[in-house]
Chain A
Amino acid sequence: MFGKKKLAAAAVTTNPAPAEGTAWIPADGLEPIHVEESAEAEIAPNQTLWEQFWSIFKHNKVALISLIVIILYIVVCVGAPLFAPYDPLAQDLSQGLAKPSPEHLLGCDKLGRDVLSRMIYGGRISLMIGLFPTLVSMTLGTILGITAGFVGGKVDMIIMRLADICMAFPSLLLAMVVSYTIGPGFLTIFLALSFVNWAGTARVVRSEVLSLREKEYVEAATSIGVKRWKIMLRHILPNCLPTLIVMLTNNIPGNILTESSLSFLGIGAQPPMTSWGLMVYQTKSYLDRNPTITLAPGIAILILVVAFNFLGDAVRDKLDPRLQEQ
C-alpha cells in the first residue's frame, strides 16, 4: 500500500551451524530422531462462523465504522418514538424556520415542525424502502436467475426476455406510471422498485450459474449421483453468495436513493408522512435562509449509502474463501 513505511528486511530464524570445529555438537547430537511436523504448522487454523464474521471487522476499521453506522441508523429509526424529542407532526408556527438551537438541534421547518424528529421518523420510510423491495426483488431474481441458468433452453429464453422487458423501463418512469394508476404512496414505490430490480439480479445470477455449473466440483457431484436440485442448492447457490451480497449492498442504497428521487418528484411518501427525500424536496426553497433543514436529510442519505458500500466490499472479500489465501 502506498504511504506505508517500507518494511525492514526480516531476519529468518535459522540457527546456522558453526563452520569450525565440533565442540558445539551436543553429546547425543548424532542420535537418529523422528521429527514430525506440528499439526498447526501444516494448515491454517479453522474459524467458527462467528470468528469469521468478526474477523471482517478486526483489521478493517472502515468496515467496522460502517457497520456501527448502519446499526445506529436502524436502532434509531426503529425506536423512533424513544429517540425523537418531538412529535414529528406537531406544528409550532412560532418556531417556523427556526435555526438550530438547544431545543431544536437541527432547527424547524416552515410549519415549525422539529427537523430532527421528522428525520428520525422519515428514516423509517427510507430504510424500509431500502430493505424490503430489495429483499423481495433479489429473492425473486435469484430464484429466476438460477432456474434460467441451470435449466437452460426455453425456460432460460423466456425468463431472460422477461428480464429484458423489465430492464427496458427506467424505474423512475415506471414508478410514475404506477403512481398514476394506483395513486402515489408507499405501495407504489414498493411495487415499482421490486418490479425493476429483480431483472438485474436474475441476469447476474444466471451468468454466475452458467460459469459455476461448468466447475469440476459440479461434475464431481454429478458423478456421485447427487440430484440436480441438490447440486443447485448445495454447490451452486452458495458460490453465488459473494456476488449476491455485493448486489445487496449496492441495491439497498440504490433503492434509498430512488425513493428520495421519487419523493422529491412528489410521488413517494405523501405528506404529512415524510422521508428523507421528501424532506429535501419540501425544504429546498429555504436553502438560502436555513440550509440545515435541507442539508441534514441529504447528508443522512449520503452517510448511509457510503456505509453500505464499504460494508459490502468488506463482506465480499471475506466471504470468498479463495481470496483469503493470499
Chain B
Amino acid sequence: MESKVLVETKDLTKEFPTKSGSFGKNRATVHAVTDVNLQIFQGETLGVVGESGCGKSTLGRLIIRLLDPTRGQVFFEGKDLGKMSVEELRSQRKQMQMVFQDPYASLNPRLRVRDLIAEPLITHKVNKTAKEDTDRVEDLMRKCGIRPEFMYRYPHQFSGGQRQRVSIARALALNPKLIICDEPVSALDVSIQSQILNLLGDLQQELGLTYVFISHDLSVVRYLSDRVCVMFLGKVCELGVTRDIYANPLHPYTKFLLEAVPIPDPKYRKDQKDMLTGEIPSPVNPPSGCHFRTRCPYATERCAKEVPQLHEVEPGRTVACHLFDK
C-alpha cells in the first residue's frame, strides 16, 4: 500500500519566547516543537500522542499554519506553505481544516448553527446563492448526525457531543483533504466519545479524508490511527505502524507510556515496578542530550551528551534512542 505523500514537514521547529521576573528581564524560550520531520500519506490517519507540554497541539497548528514556525517548512502536496502569500494561504485553507478539543469554546456562541457551518462556504464563495449554502449545510448536518431542523439554533442549546458534530460538519464543508483533530473527544462523555469516534471513522472511509489525530489518550489513538507518532518534549521519539508500536514499543518512553494506561479490566492491574517515576521536565529548560534521560532507567552517559536522532530500525519504523543506534 504505497500512497501519495500529502503533507511533509522539514525540520519543523517552534519556539515561544516567554518573559518572567519583574519587567520581563528573564527571557526564556519554550521549545514547543523541535526539528520534526514527518510525512503524512493521503488517506491515512496519523496519530500523535504524548503528555501535556510535548508539543502535539503546536505541531497540529504548525502543519496547517495557524502558527508560523520558527524554523523549517511544511509542504502541502509539494507546495511550501511558508512561501505562499496571505491570499494564497487563505485559499489553501480549503484543503486543510481543524476540529478543536473544546466544542464549547470553538463555536462562537452568538452565531446560529446554520451560519457556523456555512461560514467556510461563504468565506470562500463556494456557492452563488444562500439557498445553495443552506442545502449544503442540511446535507452536512445529516451526514454528521444532527437533525437539520436544528439549523437555526444556537450552540449553547446543544450538548457537548452534538456541538462536536457541528464542528466536524463545519470542518467538512469545503471538502478538505486534511483534517487536524486536536483532542476531539477528550471533553466528551464516555458514551458520546464512541459515537464521535465512529463518525470520524465513517467519514474518513466515505470521503477519503486524511487525519492527523492528536490525543493524549492512547486507547483512542489506537482505535483510529494507521500510524502513530509518539512525542516527548517537542521531539518525535518513535514513529511507526500502530499495530507494531502497541505490540512492541521500542523507545523506553513509549513502553512506559503504554504501561501507565489504566486498562479497563481488573485482571491487568499493575504493580509499581513498571511505573515511570519523576515528573515531566519543563519545556523551557529541557535536559541536555536526550530529553527523556532524567526519567529513563536505561540512561547512559552518552544520553546526556548526545541528542539521539531518529533512526529507521525496520522499514517504516523510526526510533530516537541511543539503545537502537549501533
Contacts and interface: CB of A to CB of B under 8 A. Distances in A.
A–B contact at 8 Å CB threshold (below): yes
Interface of A: 39, 42-44, 46, 215-217, 219-227, 230, 234-235, 238-239, 241, 321-322, 324-325
Contact of B90 (A46, A227, A238, A322): A227
B123 A230 contact: yes
B217 interface: no
Contacts of A324: 156
B108 A223 contact: no
A215 to B, nearest CB: 6
Nearest to A45: B157
B153 A322 contact: no
Contacts of A235: 108
Interface string B148-181: 0110111011110010000100100010000000
B222 to A, nearest CB: 26
B108 A322 contact: no
7 contacts: A43-B157, A46-B153, A220-B167, A224-B93, A225-B91, A225-B124, A239-B109
Contacts of A230: 123
Given A217-B105, A322-B109, A39 B153 contact: no
B211 interface: no
A175 to B, nearest CB: 37
A39 to B, nearest CB: 7
Given A46-B152, A216-B105, A223 B157 contact: no
Nearest to B158: A43
Contacts of B106: 216-217, 219-220
B123 A226 contact: yes
Contacts of A325: 156
A271 to B, nearest CB: 48
Interface residue SS majority, chain A: helix
Interface string B61-101: 00010100000000000000000000000110110011011
Contacts of B157: 43-44, 46
A309 B152 CA distance: 32
B110 interface: yes
A321 B109 contact: yes
A239 B119 contact: no
Query: Can you list the 7 inter-chain pairs with the closest CB atoms, starting with the nearest?
Result: A225-B93, A216-B105, A216-B106, A238-B110, A217-B108, A225-B90, A224-B120
Given A217-B105, A217-B107, 5 more contacts: A39-B147, A42-B159, A223-B93, A224-B119, A224-B120
Interface in B105-144: 105-111, 119-120, 123-124
Contacts of B90: 225, 227
B312 interface: no
Nearest to B99: A220
Contacts of A220: 98, 100, 106-107, 167, 170
B11 interface: no
Nearest to B120: A224
